[in-house]
Chains A and B, each alone.
Chain A
Amino acid sequence: MTGPVGAAPPPDGFGLPGGQPAGARWGSPAPPPVYLRVAFHNVTSIDVHICLSGSEIIQVVPVDGLISVSRNDQEDYVLYNPTPAAQSIPMLPRYVAILFPYDAHRPGFSHPSTTFVQKIIIKVPLRLLT
């Protein structure tokens, strides 16, 4: 495979929350961590992302152990508080990423080379493939 296997460095400014907040000290109460609510879990469909031009980084993390914060059955997704263990997948032209219901993901982060991505996203119902 000549494709984008492996993790890329996270883009600048990309810091997953959940760690010790900046400025916290011993003996002082730590403020509650601030979480992003934008890690997806497709409940009944598989996502296929194909990059046509531009680029992006998609963060992927297994849903096991994630804490859900909301669920939308109509739109078929669950939002999670992500963890720092997410993998960064660089998406360059002609790259394909297939994300299953157990892959929580966060798309749309800038790859260093561009500030946009032209892509196809296909929603494939899971029941067609089982």
Chain B
Amino acid sequence: MSIIGDLDNLAQVYEQLPHPAWRTVFTWLTQIPLSDQNNTFINPNLPTIKAYLKTIPTTKSSSDKYESHMRHIWKSHYEMPQI
């Protein structure tokens, strides 16, 4: 099941994420310059972890419009799915 929480209460998130590597992940997150718009960051200590900082439009559309919307976002913002 997905875990939902908030940054102001990470202790409760950690309770559900007992692996110590999660603290490394979130500690690194606090060091990401949030003013740096639309960038990709790689954790220097755990290079296999990537973070994408993005501003994207959302959509109310359903059906094929949603797929078209997301295809555009992926193409323009992520190195991600080609569907």
Contacts and interface: CB of A to CB of B under 8 A. Distances in A.
Given A48-B25, A109-B59, A115-B57, 13 more contacts: A2-B8, A4-B4, A40-B81, A57-B58, A72-B82, A75-B80, A98-B4, A98-B13, A108-B58, A109-B66, A117-B58, A122-B29, A129-B22
A116 B3 contact: no
Interface string B6-41: 111110110001010110010001001010000000
Interface residues of A, number: 61
Contact of B2 (A97, A120, A130): A97
Nearest to A34: B63
Interface string B56-67: 111111111011
Interface of B: 1-10, 12-13, 17, 19, 21-22, 25, 29, 32, 34, 46, 48-64, 66-67, 69-70, 73, 79-83
A75 B57 contact: no
Interface of A: 1-5, 11-17, 34, 36-38, 40, 48, 50, 52, 54-57, 60, 62, 70, 72, 75, 77, 79, 89, 94-100, 103, 105-106, 108-111, 114-125, 128-130
A96 B7 contact: yes
Given A13-B62, A128-B48, A1 B9 contact: yes
B17 A125 contact: no
Contacts of B60: 11-14, 109-110
10 contacts: A11-B60, A37-B67, A75-B82, A95-B4, A98-B4, A110-B59, A115-B57, A122-B25, A123-B49, A123-B51
Contacts of A121: 51-52, 54
A36 B4 contact: no
Contact of B53 (A38, A100, A120): A120
